[in-house]
Amino acid sequence: MGEDGPVTSPRTAPRLIATDLDGTLLCSGGTVSDRTAAALAAAEAAGVQVVFVTGRPPRWMQQVSPHIGGHGVAICSNGGAIVDVRRGGELIEYFPISAPTSLAVVEALRAKLPGTAFAFEYADGWAREPGYEVLMWGDDEVRAVGPAEELLADDGPVRGLFKLLAKHPDLDPDTFLAEARTAAGHLAEITRSAPISLLEISAPGITKASTLARWCAEHGIDRAEVVAFGDMPNDLEMLAWAGTAYAVANAHPQVLAAVPLHTVSNEEDGVAAVLERLIADSGR
């Protein structure tokens, strides 16, 4: 692998680029560099669809709206929701986690990992337990605060839950993930993308890969025609599914070990370096 991108190119000309955002496409502070913006625009102009596939909730997508391409659609919440970013993050489709499953996960993680606090991404916004510390922009717009049992009750505010968040104040992030999967991995999909002890939990079978595969099937795109980029454990299923996959140099060690093709870091425009080569090689 070269210093400024991969040596090899996909055997099939790409029709779709699927890229993670934070730590992969975006620079520090969540910005899109001029080089990356130009590479995304060139890919779209060449007829290659670009789809953002992110752990971010819909409410965090407006920052990247100018770069999303003509379709305006992003896969958010690790595959839990498909949103139209151009229409204010309007939900096109989502894949809910049932209240009984969510409560079973909460109970299992509380029992094995005391101190864990929970938050809930759902169709109308988000809610959290009192012990769940807010993290980023938009988090002050929480719709409800209370114990999980009240929020998820039949008469509670959470309806259409598509992502459950679990945060621990002390545990090492990788340890937290491993322990949580042992306790509740049979109930739901559990992964992580943040540098802190924060887990992201989806309905059984719902991952970035599953929703991306659904999107591609609906648009007549074969997995061999997909090139994917990622950096964290929540990207692994997508990177394994795509016909061609790249890990950025700053990726989690598990991702670097699992993905043969690497590019330079997000701060060095690793996605752009690959896109520029792909478009040039395809002759588009």
Indicate whether 11 belongs to any domain.
Answer: no
pLDDT at 265: 97
Indicate whether 217 belongs to any domain.
Answer: yes
pLDDT tens-digit readout, 246-257: 999 999 999 999
Tell me which amino acid residue 260 is.
Answer: P
Can you give the residue range of the structural domain that contains 227? 16-93+207-282
pLDDT tens-digit readout, 205-247: 999 999 999 999 999 999 999 999 999 999 999 999 999 999 9
- The mean pLDDT value of the chain amounts to 90
Same domain for 79 and 133, yes or no, is no
pLDDT at 196: 94
Closest CA to 210 of 237, 184, 179: 237
Indicate whether 6 belongs to any domain.
Answer: no
In three-state form (DSSP H/G/I as H, E/B as E, the rest C), the secondary structure along 123-188 is CCEEEECCCCCCCCCCHHHCCEECCHHHHCCCCCCCCCEEEEEEECCCCCHHHHHHHHHHHHCCCC
pLDDT exceeds 60 at position 10: no
pLDDT at 279: 87
pLDDT band at 136 (very low <50, low <70, confident <90, very high): low
Task: Specify the CATH number for the domain of residue 83.
Answer: 3.40.50.1000
Indicate whether 20 belongs to any domain.
Answer: yes
Same domain for 108 and 196, yes or no, is yes
Task: Specify the CATH number for the domain of residue 122.
Answer: 3.30.1240.10
Q: Which of 175, 202, 229 is the last residue of a domain?
A: 202
pLDDT tens-digit readout, 153-167: 999 999 999 999 999
pLDDT exceeds 70 at position 26: yes
pLDDT exceeds 90 at position 25: yes
Indicate whether 249 belongs to any domain.
Answer: yes
Indicate whether 10 belongs to any domain.
Answer: no
pLDDT tens-digit readout, 94-103: 999 999 999 9
Structural domains counted in the chain: 2
Q: Which of 202, 223, 247 is the last residue of a domain?
A: 202
Same domain for 213 and 197, yes or no, is no
Q: Is 0.85 surpassed by the pTM of this model?
A: yes
Same domain for 63 and 21, yes or no, is yes
Indicate the helix (H) or strand (E) that contains 74.
Answer: strand 73-76
pLDDT at 6: 42
Place of tokens 């070269």: 2
Same domain for 180 and 45, yes or no, is no
pLDDT at 61: 72
pLDDT band at 2 (very low <50, low <70, confident <90, very high): very low
d(CA 238, CA 45): 24
Same domain for 147 and 270, yes or no, is no
Instruction: Kindly report each contact of residues 131-137 with a partner whose C-beta sits within 8 Å and lies 24 or more positions away, as own/partner.
Output: 132/165, 132/167, 133/167, 135/198, 136/60, 137/60
pLDDT at 1: 40
Same domain for 83 and 213, yes or no, is yes
pLDDT tens-digit readout, 49-108: 999 999 998 877 776 766 666 677 899 999 999 998 877 778 899 999 999 999 999 999
Same domain for 193 and 246, yes or no, is no
Closest CA to 138 of 76, 94, 197, 80: 76
Same domain for 196 and 151, yes or no, is yes
Instruction: Kindly report each contact of residues 259-265 with a partner whose C-beta sits within 8 Å and lies 24 or more positions away, as own/partner.
Output: 259/230, 261/1, 261/6, 261/8, 262/1, 262/6, 263/1, 263/5, 263/6, 263/229, 264/3, 264/4, 264/5
